[in-house]
Structure 1
Amino acid sequence: MADPPEQPGAGQPEGQGPEAQGPEGQGPKPQVTIPTVKSADGSYIKNIVPVDARTLHFDIYSAAMDTVLPVEVMLPADTSVPRPSLYLLSGADGGAGQANWQGKTDAMQFLSDKNVNVIQILGGGFSFYTDWLQPDPKLGVYKYDTYIGKELPTLMDAALNTNGVNAIAGLSMSGLSVLNLVTHNPGLFQAAAVYSGLTQTSDPIAQEAVKLTVNEWGGGTVENMWGAMDNPLWVENDPTVNAEKLRGVELFVSTGNGIPGAYDLPSSKWATTNTSEYPKTIALGMIIEASINLFNHNFQAKLNSLGIPATFVYRDVGLHSWGYWQDDLKTSWGVLAKGLGL
């Protein structure tokens, strides 16, 4: 499932706030050279703009989608040797506004002393970061599985001088994407973390959740993504059905239980600023998180039956909120770091 679109709020432009700067963000901007390398299908880095001493903004041309997409990168604390990379995905709207790790959490500050390239993928709203069967009249051409799994790693490895070891983490809509990107691209990711994300897609309730995200919130048509509900693609993109393909990857999965907690109170900075929408937001968050909790138990049972180890966290409280995902990222760091070799 995915978080519904948020009300626009005030804030600094992306890449300019304290989250982007981090404790070591002050200082001269790095000199950068755009590498000439291209991915197998002709994708390339169109531009790189230094934001501060640790942050780079990339404009990536995706041949699969024939468009230019933004990527924000925080460089490792120590760049003297090649470092691993952590790819971060956002929720329903793709993090195009302020609803991303940089704008909503202190993730960049937490990761600023880690020796890892933090690659924040922006864009792809309501896409589930997958390859769609056909262009959508409202959402356009979506080939995000190809972009993230095939195009982007080649370009990031060249530009950032990485060591080729990768992890990926995502929340809400992109939690499902994280697991499918791992299974669709064997060997690319050594660790994966899912925060309040769907872990089933062939279940009728889960299918309705995907449809709600794409059709109602995104304005698209879900049949353009994986076809009708009986299309085999819905099973092929079900992490629980395809759990065997996750063997050997360090896994972390977390969710709340649908009971409101501290981050859901009106006084919380993560609560909706539209007071008239607050009751609806709470009710929707309860349904979403309780459903995901159930799906995660099913997913855990499948992994256990296959003897595939994974870390599952079921929080005592919590709806569908960035406050919990901020905490979950920190809790999952040990799992991610192990896969990254840190």
Structure 2
Amino acid sequence: MIRLPHHASNRKTEVLAGLTTFFTMVYIIVVNPVILSDAGVPFEQAFTATVIATVVGTLWMAIFADYPIAIAPGMGLNAYFAYSVVGSHGGISYETAFSAVFVAGVLFLLLSLTPLRSKLIEVIPDSLKHGITAGIGLFIAFIGLRLTGIIQAHPQNLVALGDLHAPSAMLTLVGLAVTLVLMMRGVNGALFYGMVATGVIAYATGQLHFDKGIVSLPSLPEGLVAANPLTAVGDVISHSLYAVVFSFLLVTLFDTTGTMIGVAQQAGLMKGNTLPRAREALLADSVATTIGAMFGTSPTSAYIESSTGVAAGGRTGLTALTVAVL
């Protein structure tokens, strides 16, 4: 359960941190369906499934682990699902691929009930834990710089400076300047206010617009995609998807563990080499992966964007609860 009085925090700070995390990671509810739709998954199905998996995993993290860490379908795993799994191994369909995700989720769930995942947190050396934390920030920064055009691909040295006069690049630099000024002045929620200011400027300059309205009802045109464990296991065996299941399991295992350690260290929640309530925290993504596969989305993971909420002051499950509600 959420232990707000136990931490040096307050409700306003936690909710603001949740808003910050949400707006930093909310891109996934659009990007994930776009990627999965390339594999034939209906956009509406993947959109709703992404939201359901995120709500389930993040609620679990909030209520049972009391950590400010959000869970959602992982980037990279969705691309592997859409471009490497579907269509391969004899032209398997996305329904069969979701069976592999479901089986991986169940195995992940069983593995999370054992001491192995908790032991991983204890045996990872301090140098790697600090490296993961730094890597989280660098990865977020690199994605932002690439998507806004400040950097771009280069055939020889891979990365080159983009067009700094482009509207998206100028908008990013202005928003970054606003955020840095607020951070230097010690304003709580500086990242969130910086994003709001950037959004307002983008809307005023015509870079942000709404083509199909703002609100609509969710839908699941395919219903439950993978709900029968026996059928899912049968699909994996008949199509020899053992390597696929192993890949989902292995990547999610280390991705989530590493991200969780990095965010927990940033928040000051680690107790030496151990993470309190590690089992409850590690169960969040395995439960979300299993539920998400049933509705039609790729494996979930702890989100590195949770570090932005921690930077805004999030220290408890109330931050994650805010993300889940949103």
Give me the TM-score of the superposition, normalised by structure 1: 0.26
- Report which of the two structures shows the higher radius of gyration computed on alpha carbons: 2
Give me the TM-score of the superposition, normalised by structure 2: 0.26
Q: Which has the higher strand share?
A: 1
